[in-house]
Amino acid sequence: MTAVAVAAKPSLRHRLAERGIDRVLLLLVPGVVFAVALFLYPFLYGLQLSFTPKKGGPFSNYAEFFRDPYLRNTMWTTLWIALPATLINVLASIPIAYVMRGKMRGKRTLTTILVVPITLGTVLTAQGLITYTGPAGWLNKVLSALGISDEPLPLIHNYTGVLLSLVITGFPFAFLLTLSYLSGIDPTLERAAATLGASWGQRFRKITMPLLAPGLAITFCLSFVMAFSVFPSANLVGDPSGTTRVISIAAYHAAFEEYNFSMGSTIAMIMAVIMLLVIGLVLIWRTTLYRGATGGKG
């Protein structure tokens, strides 16, 4: 659009250039075309498809989702897995990142070691959980050899298995983000507070946390995105027809096993709405925090 206008009127071209519109923007075109064709269009197509169910009125798919407890509960199951997993990952990464921020001997090696679990992949994690924490696995052997427990702990093919798998794969990611945000905070601020007589706890609560909070909000969102779409691990180490029947399993089942693409899209849209709701809430919370912090400084 701009390209045509630019070619037609030289004077307009100058005026547009002043507002930042010139030929350089043409470089954006392929990227935008890809994003529209492969992301926006399918998404809108799916939205439209979700309102044209196999039978019934435009909203009957949505009505069915919320009426049928087997479908509706997948939503709660997913949140019940994703929220604790995200909280564990984010909260655990704060103290570890706090100890490791700043200059430290072997920091790079330690970071690398903590990041390596990213390479494990769901299947190796699942196989590992089954072999290692299973009834005859090393963990239960050690526990019974030490006399801690008589019966093998039920850690797989249930809720715990999926949670453990999400913590193993999600923690390195959350840690990496938290560490980078924490390293970005100027250490002189804390030293200044220490000079003024602030205790360790006061410094942490009054200085580090408010500055870290916006970053933590982003970390929470990105970790939640990963945990929310839990699909393979819910099938492999979970109990996919019962306690860990997450919403993505329901969506996949509707679309590619019953070939009801309309219902599949409906569930995908509901997933997107829940996802954006959670992210929205976190970001709103972040703005209140951020204002509070700046107000305090001024």
Partner 1 sequence: MKGWVARPGRWVVWAIVAFFFVNLIGLVLSVVIDSFGTQWFGTWLPEGFTTHWYGDAWREFGLSQVLFTTGTVAVSVIVISVLVGVPAAYALARRSFPGKQLVMLLFVLPILIPPITYGIPLATVLYKFHIAGTMTGVILANLVPSIPFVVLTMTPFIEQIDPKIEAAARMSGARTLSVFTRILGPLLLPGILAAAILVLVRTVGMFELTFLVAGPDSTTLVVALYNSVFGAGIRANQQVDAMATVYTASMLVLLLIALRFVNPTQLVTRVREET
226: contact with partner 1 by CB under 8 A: yes
Check binding of 268 to partner 1 (CB under 8 A).
yes
Please list every residue from 134 through 153 that binds partner 1, using CB under 8 A: 136-139, 141
Residue 281: Cβ-neighbour burial (10 angstroms; 0-12, 13-18, 19+): exposed
Q: How many CA atoms lie within 13 A of 207 on its CB side?
A: 19
Which lies closer to partner 1 via its Cβ, residue 145 or residue 298?
Answer: 145
**Least CB distance from residue 46 to partner 1, whole Å?**
3
Q: Residue 264 to residues 39, 43, 75, 176, 227: CA-CA distances in angstroms?
A: 17, 12, 14, 34, 20
Q: Does 87 bind partner 1 (CB under 8 A)?
A: no
The residue behind tokens 């999400």 is 166
Binding mask 25-64 for partner 1 (x = CB under 8 A): xxxx-xxx-xxx-xxxxxx-xxx-x---------------
Instruction: Write the CA distances from 81 to 197, 272, 287, integer angstroms.
Output: 43, 17, 27
Tell me if 198 contacts partner 1 by CB under 8 A. no
- Least Å from the CB of residue 49 to partner 1: 7
Q: Per CB under 8 A, does 293 bind partner 1?
A: no
Compute the C-alpha angle 256/224/83, nearest 5°.
100
285 belongs to the binding site for partner 1 (CB under 8 A): no
Stretch that binds partner 1, among 7-15, 60-68, 133-141, 205-213 (CB under 8 A): 133-141
- In the complex, the smallest distance separating the C-beta of residue 57 from partner 1, rounded to whole angstroms, is 21
Among 51, 62, 80, 231, binds partner 1 (CB under 8 A): 231
SS3 237: coil
Round to whole Å and give the CA distance between 68 and 292.
43
- Using CB under 8 A as the binding rule, whether residue 194 contacts partner 1 is answered as yes
Contact 159, 244 (CB under 8 A): yes
